[in-house]
Chains A and B, each alone.
Chain A
Amino acid sequence: MKREDGAEALAVEFREATKRYPGADTDAVHALSLDVPAGDICVLVGPSGCGKTTAMRMVNRMVEITSGDIVVGERSVRERSASELRREIGYVIQETGLFPHRTIADNIATVPQLLGWDRERTHERVDELVELIGLDPTLAARFPAQLSGGQQQRVGVARALAANPGVMLMDEPFGAVDPINRERLQNEFLRLQAELRKTILFVTHDIDEALKMGDRIAVLQEGGHLAQYATPAELLMAPANDFVEDFVGADRALKRLALLRVGDIDLWEAPLAYVGQATAEVRAKLAGAEVPHALLVDSDRRPLGWLSESDLSLDTVPATPDSAPHPLLELDDVMRDALSDLLQAESQYAPVVDGAGKIGGVLSIEIVSEFLNSPGALTDEHAAAERPLT
């Protein structure tokens, strides 16, 4: 199947873009300047009325710019007629706006039809997209009202991708869906983006969604002022002002943990013990260890449990340890979830295994707080943020 991935993602540049509605006292968007590199997701986030949706809609001229400019690719958005411009920009809105009177396939085919693609090419493209968004092909002949909310949202995305735009605008696209489906949709979209690498302007009022989805985040204050434009890690570590700090939330330290995986930081080592080993050896290792407990592992270095004092009072290491190796964490676990497990188990240390189940290190709360406060943390978090968290 021929893939229509040809079109390159375009960069979007706001140059002092301003919008003031006639008769209004203040700007809806005030001299917004920011660069969105091609292939990046830029999330516009802020409270209601901050102008984030207005700013996004200025890119495809659903809202006309009062002063300043917006440049997409190398061209100002004002160069062409609005209709022409919009056919090359994907547009996804919260209510989806699917045409109730057209089938799913026809809905997706809208922009290709407007652009005059021939029927065969359109057909192929529609099939391609239905598969891409993970929709059952038999649904393509149905009408929007017959699909669930989550399915409708996916169709909305497919419809926006149909003509292979260089830029996509998304206004709270997952907002109207329940939290479980929203997470699923977010993850699917991130996977899609990893493949397609479009330039995306994404509007949301939910800071958690912004942190999850954005490569860069623009926090807007009321009156359309840009408060901060930074990566998620920077935003959490160094909020530019009180407003951003409040908006990000009092739990921003914990939010940082959502951006990390257990394997991203340096873990401690626990002395390992094998069944039948002389306990004297084990006790010797314990002497200067980072973790003052011995971990019983099998011949493949898989954790079997923690050895207690009474265990070590024997001559040789017993086969059954006193305490189980719980909670058992994985290198791939999201740090926040891992810490949550640790706290719940009322354990101070948790063994961390790799994909094969072999011991990789030991996690404790101390390690995490040490890491968060270390100067090298920011770089590591940047690196961590590059990887999709699905």
Chain B
Amino acid sequence: MLAGLPALLPIAQNGDGFVRDPGESGTSCVAENDTVCVGWALDNIDRYVTPTLEHLELVVLSVGFGFVLAFAMALLSHRRRWLVPTFTGATGVIYTIPSVALFLLLLPITGRGTTTAVIALTLYTLQIIYRNIVTGLANVPEAAKDSGRGMGMTDRQLLWKVELPLAVPEIIAGLRIATVSTVAIATLAVFAGAGGLGAEIYNDIDFKTGIVVCGTIAIAMAIAFDALYVGAQRWISPWRKVRPV
């Protein structure tokens, strides 16, 4: 069957051919493709700018939408506890579906392109962000809620002045995990027809230099976001040390 055939080198799904442009320096290095051509990479770094920006766009949009959605879900289920298992279950099931599969399952419905990728990536962030918001709210000390109510706060005032602020560390922890994961998963967005660093790799799958450069950028992006979140948490809640995630 198909197993007998050599693994078909994938022709780029979005139809773009790819020409390994050696540029001016490192001609033979790139052509031989023996090792990582650092010189060439540094000279041609601009070719990676667009994929990086695309990748960034995917991550920011997905985590942004994911947060808004998960927050809305959390507010809804805060006073209607029966919704919690439903939401938790639904987001969990979605998260279990492998990203490539989800991208493809959405294709017939939303078509190829960034939209599909963002939709899928957004859905992936829901589980962790929702769970963390709910846990954060649940961990608010009972005494603070009791005294807040006792002093005359309405439910809404209690939520916004006491519960949510105290849940912030947990929420940021969730965003942190979601963002780092999304940076990694977005490399697969190429299968939804979106761009990004993954597409850059996929378009020339055995170009060693390309793999290393793109992989490095992706990892660096993840680390940068991670550091950003740690800083944000320290700044927003100075009353609390950053806990290990």
Contacts and interface: CB of A to CB of B under 8 A. Distances in A.
Is there a contact between chains A and B in the complex with CB atoms less than 8 Å apart?
Answer: yes
Given A101-B165, A143-B239, A95 B143 contact: yes
B231 interface: no
A91 interface: yes
7 closest cross-chain pairs (CB), A and B? A97-B147, A87-B152, A91-B150, A86-B152, A95-B143, A97-B143, A143-B239
A225 to B, nearest CB: 25
A114 B152 contact: yes
Contact of B149 (A86, A96, A101, A169): A86
Nearest to A86: B152
Interface in B134-165: 141-154, 157, 162, 165
A225 B143 CA distance: 27
Contacts of B143: 93, 95-97
B144 A86 contact: no
A64 B46 CA distance: 69
Contacts of A143: 238-239
A62 interface: yes
Contacts of B165: 101
Contacts of B145: 97
A53 B142 CA distance: 16
A60 interface: yes
A114 B147 contact: no
Contacts of A290: none
Given A114-B157, A143-B239, A145-B239, A98 B151 contact: no
A207 to B, nearest CB: 25
Interface of B: 141-154, 157, 162, 165-166, 168, 237-240
A145 B237 CA distance: 13
B153 A83 contact: yes
B151 A111 contact: yes
Contact of A100 (B149, B154, B239): B239
A169 B147 CA distance: 11
A353 to B, nearest CB: 48
A100 B145 CA distance: 11
A250 to B, nearest CB: 35
A101 B150 contact: no
A98 B152 contact: no
Contact of B166 (A84, A91, A100): A100
Interface in A278-322: none
B144 A114 contact: no
Q: Is the interface of B mostly helix, strand, loop or mixed?
A: helix
Most buried by A among B143, B147, B154, B237: B147
Most buried by A among B141, B152, B154, B157: B152
Contacts of A95: 141-143
11 contacts: A82-B152, A83-B152, A83-B153, A87-B152, A97-B148, A101-B240, A111-B151, A111-B152, A143-B238, A159-B151, A169-B150
A86 B147 contact: no
A145 B239 CA distance: 8
Given A87-B151, A91-B151, A97 B146 contact: yes
Contacts of A160: 151
Contact of A62 (B146, B154, B168, B238): B146
A96 B147 contact: yes
A110 interface: yes
A169 to B, nearest CB: 8
A383 to B, nearest CB: 36
Nearest to B154: A83
Given A101-B239, A143-B239, A93 B152 contact: no
Interface string A209-237: 00000000000000000000000000000
Given A60-B150, A85-B152, A97 B239 contact: no
Contact of A99 (B157, B162, B237): B162
B66 to A, nearest CB: 25
Most buried by B among A87, A91, A93, A101: A101
A88 B150 CA distance: 10
A101 B147 contact: no
B149 A93 contact: no
Contact of A93 (B150, B166, B237, B239): B150
